[in-house]
Chains A and B, each alone.
Chain A
Amino acid sequence: MNRDRLRKQIGTLLIHAVLAAGAALVLFPFVWMLLGSVKSYNEATTAGFIPREWLWSNYLDAVTVMNGSVPCQFDAANPLAILNQCLLLRYFFNTVFVGLFVVLGVLTTSVLAGYAFARLNFPGRNLLFGILLMTLMIPFELTLVPNFVFMTWFSTPESWLATTFGLSKEGLHNWINTYYALIVPFTASVFSIFLFRQFFRGIPNELFDAALLDGATHSQFLWSVVLPLSKPALVTSALLTFLGTWNALMWPLLVTNAPQMRPIQVGLAQFIGEAGTQVQLLMAGATLTVLPIMILYLILQRWFVEGISSAGIRG
């Protein structure tokens, strides 16, 4: 018996050793990035682990380089002007702005469609749902060129209104370099519809019958009974959608070329060229963009991990 317990303890110890070594390998690049971000150029390019002198000013330098060598200046009289003047903040603003609207769009379209497919009865329901599932088979690459062409065809609503009512002589402006191109094509997700349909199907019929007895309509039932119960599905869908927007690279590269319109990923890719061989600035720039999402992840990690495992997709 004692020998058994000893064997078990050694086994547990071994497992911990392997897992800890793996975790250290996984974490190491982050540590290396953080340490590198506060070293001097000379120290960063020679071996040595802990910086002898912690140069916090690297972060400011990185922001300035990202800004085309113009330092960011905060004007108390006009605080929002910093978004036009400071590119790093602008990149973040773009990513968050686009992400929020995409998430809002996806949640709206998917909750409605998911509810219809789960609980409403209408001709062609299975056929339409089948068509939706079929679109999952279409790879992103195939729709890339046509959607890019669409972006050059579509006009922004404000330029259309201005032209139609003769308010401006600037003419029509297409969707290239606008938030529309970054948001609108992504405001529906078959995957989220599928997720909500599955979730809504699990809501007991008794709840619905009770609501009907109280004289509730479907829209009232959806809004005041179903949605409050659907927090897990809402959070999963929102996080996965946001992660997808956050990591998008090919599409924003294609449809934005003005620096003011870049999301953070594209902005950071641009910064790589600007910082050149200044490793410490590269690490500082990477740290600045990594920290916010890392903090968000550590706070919400349970939702992230469970969202991915219940959904089984890549963001």
Chain B
Amino acid sequence: MTTQDESHSASLPQQAAGAAPTATKRPRVQWFAYLYILPAFLVIGVFHILPVGYAIWISLQSGAVRRFQFTGLDNYIRALNAPEFWSALQTTLFYTLGTVPMTMVLGLGIAYLLFQKIRGRGIYRTIYFMPYIISTVASAIVWAWVFDPRNGLANHALALFGIPAQQWLIEPTGVFKLIGDGLQVSVPSWAEGPSLALVGIMIFAVWQVLGFDVVIFLAGLGNINSELYEAARIDGATGWQLFRYITIPLLAPTTFFILVVSLIFSLQAFNHIYAMNRSAAQQLGGPLGTTRTLSIFMFQALYEQNRAGYASAIAVLLSLMILGLTLVQFRFLGRRSENG
């Protein structure tokens, strides 16, 4: 790599020294650049680009790895006809709706408070961000213990309010039905909502990811020109008006970025669910499959049932959904790179 580099640049010094400084700005093809990008393209080509086509090809096969047989669209038809697929999709959407808005609202609130030139801001930021660094499995062990049906803290906390103990991570019943039963209101079956087990995992996930939103919102708040606040304050604006008419609109790009990134990540939810299921001694996706998201569903098809083609078909369907969202993000990232 070095030899090519040297031989090509050898003529450059004289040129630069002899001619006007603008000579270096004249476009001149530096062929060794291809050697610079080769290692990256090799890895990305083999492990990111090639697999896309191969994934689609595998999704048209039946049988285990290395014993593939072409079956056409069979895997897709099977997936779309499987009730498990639709319930996994529903679970994924529940998970997304339950975690993303909650994390963003809390994240923005905390970031806004931290931004008020508060003393000890650095310490608060360090604390709020800490769960994000800690491994999901280790923190899931603790949270599963908090949600333990017999001795967990969550039930002790409920007892303070006179609410009976719950089964939490092993409870497959929908959370709205549980609330309805508690209030002796009958809830129709379509409105039962996510299982209490999934809600427990969502609480854990919000706790873990919150710090990310806080830190990004803080960075976004830092980009807002402070003179705007001062000018508005001189005009007699109240704190709420400052927040509503300056912070919210000017923070929109940051909010949008967090929203899209969070949506994509929650559609791919796996780690939190895997770790919590395991910590609560449940089968993957349990109880009764109520925490089985699309990622978990795909993983089970591959890992537990050795159905690579079926797993690939599920992955393609999941990817199509994520693709739509990523396109939005890609546009945003492109715009950022032009500015940057």
Contacts and interface: CB of A to CB of B under 8 A. Distances in A.
Interface of A: 12, 15-16, 18-19, 22-23, 25-27, 29-30, 32-33, 36, 44-47, 105, 108-110, 112-113, 115-117, 120-123, 125, 128, 131-150, 152, 184-188, 190, 193-194, 198, 208-209, 212-215, 217-219, 243, 246-247, 249-250, 253-254, 264-265, 268-269, 272-273, 279, 282-283, 285-286, 289-290, 293-294, 297-298, 301, 304-305, 308-310, 312-314
A188 B271 contact: no
Contacts of B110: 19, 22
Contacts of A147: 47, 51
A293 B134 contact: yes
A137 B326 contact: yes
A141 B37 contact: no
A146 B56 CA distance: 9
A43 to B, nearest CB: 11
B127 interface: yes
B136 A247 contact: yes
29 contacts: A26-B131, A26-B207, A29-B146, A36-B145, A109-B40, A121-B33, A128-B41, A133-B333, A135-B48, A139-B318, A141-B315, A145-B315, A147-B47, A147-B51, A150-B51, A209-B16, A212-B12, A219-B2, A247-B271, A249-B271, A265-B137, A268-B135, A272-B278, A282-B145, A283-B141, A290-B135, A308-B212, A309-B216, A314-B261
A113 B333 contact: no
Contacts of A209: 16, 21, 24
B271 A250 contact: yes
The 4 closest A-B pairs by CB, nearest first: A146-B51, A188-B43, A309-B219, A116-B36
B128 to A, nearest CB: 6
A121 B30 contact: yes
Given A139-B264, A285-B141, A297-B130, 4 more contacts: A143-B55, A148-B302, A305-B125, A312-B216
B326 A314 contact: no
Contacts of A272: 137, 141, 278-279
B58 A145 contact: yes
A265 B136 contact: yes
B234 interface: no
A97 to B, nearest CB: 17
Given A29-B146, A32-B146, A115-B36, A187 B43 contact: yes
B105 interface: no
A184 B42 CA distance: 11
Contacts of A27: 127, 130
Nearest to A223: B2
Contacts of A187: 43
A220 to B, nearest CB: 9
B243 interface: no
Contacts of A219: 1-2, 5-6
Given A116-B33, A218-B5, A249 B143 contact: no
A121 B28 contact: yes
B135 A264 contact: yes
Contacts of A243: 133
B113 interface: yes
Contact of A139 (B24, B44, B153, B322): B322
A300 B265 CA distance: 25
- Chain B: interface size category: 35 or more
A301 B36 contact: no
Q: How would you classify the secondary structure of chain A's contact residues: helix, strand, loop or mixed?
A: helix
A125 B113 CA distance: 44
Nearest to A193: B40
A218 B55 contact: no
Contacts of A12: 116, 118
Given A145-B55, A286-B138, A15 B125 contact: no
Chain B CB within 10 A, most for which of A133, A137, A214 = A137
A122 B34 contact: yes
A185 B47 contact: yes
Contact of A152 (B9, B66, B216, B327): B66
B133 A293 contact: yes
Given A22-B110, A26-B130, A213-B17, A146 B145 contact: no
Contacts of B340: 198
B13 interface: yes
B219 A310 contact: yes
Nearest to A105: B43
Nearest to B44: A188
B43 A45 contact: no
Contacts of A132: 40, 44
A120 B298 CA distance: 42
Contacts of A108: 39
B315 A142 contact: yes
Contacts of B36: 112-113, 115-116, 120
Contacts of B279: 272, 282
Nearest to B270: A250
Interface in B9-39: 9-10, 12-13, 16-17, 21, 24, 27-34, 36-37, 39
